[in-house]
Amino acid sequence: MKNRLFKEIILKTKELQRLGKKALLDADQLSGFLGEAVASHLIIEKLEDDTYVPAPPRAESIDGSSDRGTYSVKYFSWLSKSASKIFLHKSLNFDWLVIIMSNTNYVVPRNKFTTVSQTGIATQDRIDSGIIYLTKGGKNELSIAGSDINMAILDKHYNLPNTSFLNELLYTKSVEVTPKQLEILDLI
């Protein structure tokens, strides 16, 4: 039941984005909201974490929790190695970081992040270790750079493919919610 609601939110948010773009509005304002709905759907369906509950709005560092721990969700648009970063609160107060991208997603355990410099470690060894180096991101922030090494680490160790539902949305031009789609969601 809960996952059905997240699917409906995803469909309707995609429709709002489409309408916003048509009206020349900044539809990217909905990306964070969409990212949280997608993450909720993936956590429940792909990670099979039925106890997941989203956190109240503005909860520091936490976007949800379950019997398996706390989750922080980040929507990430990779533009370039130098300009693309994922910003995290410096407390790193979560057990799992869920990174939502347009065509793939990642789930990274908290213990796989470090602020200890990785200089001098061979590139392949860094990739094989699965450890992601965090840099200073701002006053109270750390960041994950969208570097080739970090993307290779994410791809090798933490990739969480989209569900069939999300892939259908990605590769279908029309995302209007039809009565038939809602009927199918009721059956799931």
Query: Mean pLDDT per segment of 10 residues, for the chain of length 188 residues?
Result: 86 90 88 88 92 85 90 80 80 91 89 89 93 88 89 94 81 59 64
So what's the pLDDT on residue 66?
94
So what's the pLDDT on residue 65?
93
So what's the pLDDT on residue 178?
62
So what's the pLDDT on residue 16?
92
So what's the pLDDT on residue 29?
85
Burial class (CB in 10 A: 0-12, 13-18, 19+), 171: exposed
**pLDDT by residue (tens digit) across 54-75?**
988 877 778 899 999 999 998 8
So what's the pLDDT on residue 188?
55
- Distance of alpha carbon 106 from alpha carbon 104, whole angstroms: 7
Strands (E), 93-188: 96-100, 105-109, 113-114, 132-133, 135-138, 141-145, 159-160
